[in-house]
Amino acid sequence: MSLAPALKLQGLSKRFGTVQAAQDISLSVEAGETVALLGPSGCGKSTVLRGVAGLERLDAGRVEVGGREVTTLPPEARHVGLVFQDYALFPHLSVLDNVAYGPRMRGTPRPQAWAQAREALALVELLDLQRRQPAQLSGGQQQRVALARALATGSPLLLLDEPLSNLDEQRRTELRAELRRLFARVGAGVLLVTHDQREALALAGRVVVMRAGRLVQQGPAADVFARPATAWVAAFLGHANVLARPDGAALWIPETAVTLGTGEPCPLTVRQTTGSGETVTAQHPLGPLTLHLSAREVPLIEAGRLRLTVNPAQVMTLPDDRGTGDQGPGNPAPGEPAAEQL
Ligand SMILES: Nc1ncnc2c1ncn2[C@@H]1O[C@H](COP(=O)(O)OP(=O)(O)OP(=O)(O)O)[C@@H](O)[C@H]1O
């Protein structure tokens, strides 16, 4: 049996005054698949999500949800489950009634709406707290109620806008693992907006990278990270070694391009202790190379030098588009040390 894609989006464009927030964006999300829409602040991710949800009138584009065209339908008729940054739970309703709200709004009789809500609450493991009000829950629990509310709609498509942004780092890491399991269980397609590269890798099978309103690369998450299409994408994804060259940019991904402990002893100009070892910058004849050393690799440093060999076949040459956009790559990936100037 072949299922219709959870989402098929073609040629979405949206302008606000002089700002082209999204330009000709086409993407699809298969049933059971999680796709991350990734890009720096202001690149148009939320505009795309809101356009799919029907919260933004499009200048152009066609939206299909679960095989049904919904382009001109109002949000409530599109049958998508939405989770936004602030959860937007009703403070005066119980957890159960918050989750039952969607089915109730679509005319489902109360006992059946409650049954659907309990099923969704069981999925996020919050059935025990169904009688509480949102204020009596932790941030992570509220997050899960918001997810349950989206799940209770039974929609083929879930849209999540920075769903973990209000949580602390430890809770985010825990919830990422929970979300991955949950997405696998429910079988809906998920389109997730994030500016956090690690979140995209942790949650999504496929990523779509946006820059200044345009889609710049899409593909399986591991492929996009291993083979960024341009220097800007590489830098945005957190690759530290993107060096300008006369013919473009050279990308060295140390895990594949560099062998430690053999070869030329390179002086280290920066050494920074991290939670797992050290981040160092080695002066290699081909250019400065930033390396994250594990605690086990740190003893390879001798008298401020590190022996390393670069495999030239693994150094990628990419078009250097870093200076051309109106929005540069964002900050380094959260938790990564900022690259220090030499
Ligand atoms: N209602 C609006 N009116 C005018 N401009 C808007 C409106 N909504 C968004 N924009 C502009 O459109 C561009 C894209 O915004 P959007 O919110 O889609 O970006 P984003 O990638 O989701 O950003 P963030 O990660 O910061 O949420 C921005 O320049 C933004 O200022």
pLDDT of residue 338: 37
Q: What is the pLDDT of residue 324?
A: 66
Write down the pLDDT at residue 84: 78
* Ligand 1 atom at shortest distance from the alpha carbon of 43: 21
Domain ranges of the chain: 7-226, 231-318
Residue-level pLDDT at 173: 82
Segments of the chain scoring below 70 in pLDDT = 1-2, 86-87, 166, 324-342
For the segment 147-165, what is each residue's pLDDT rounded down to a tens digit? 899 888 888 999 998 877 7
pLDDT for position 278: 96
Ligand 1: distance of its center to the CA of 290 in Å? 33
Distance, CA 52 to ligand 1 centroid (Å)?
Answer: 15
Q: Kindly give the number of the ligand 1 atom that is closest to the alpha carbon of 39.
A: 21
Cα of 22 vs centre of ligand 1, distance in Å, is: 9
CA of 209 to the centre of ligand 1 (A): 16
What number does the ligand 1 atom closest to the CA of 48 have?
Answer: 18
Report which residue type is found at 209: V
Residue 340 Cα to ligand 1 middle (Å) = 30
Given the cut 0.90, state whether the ipTM is greater than it: yes
> What fold, for 7-226?
Rossmann fold (3.40.50)
Nearest CA to ligand 1 atom 2: 16
According to the model, what pLDDT value does residue 227 have?
Answer: 94
Residues with CB under 6 A from ligand 1: 16, 19, 21, 39, 41-47, 195
pLDDT given for residue 325 in this prediction: 54
Closest-CA residue, ligand 1 atom 1, reads 16
125 Cα: distance to centroid of ligand 1 (angstroms): 34
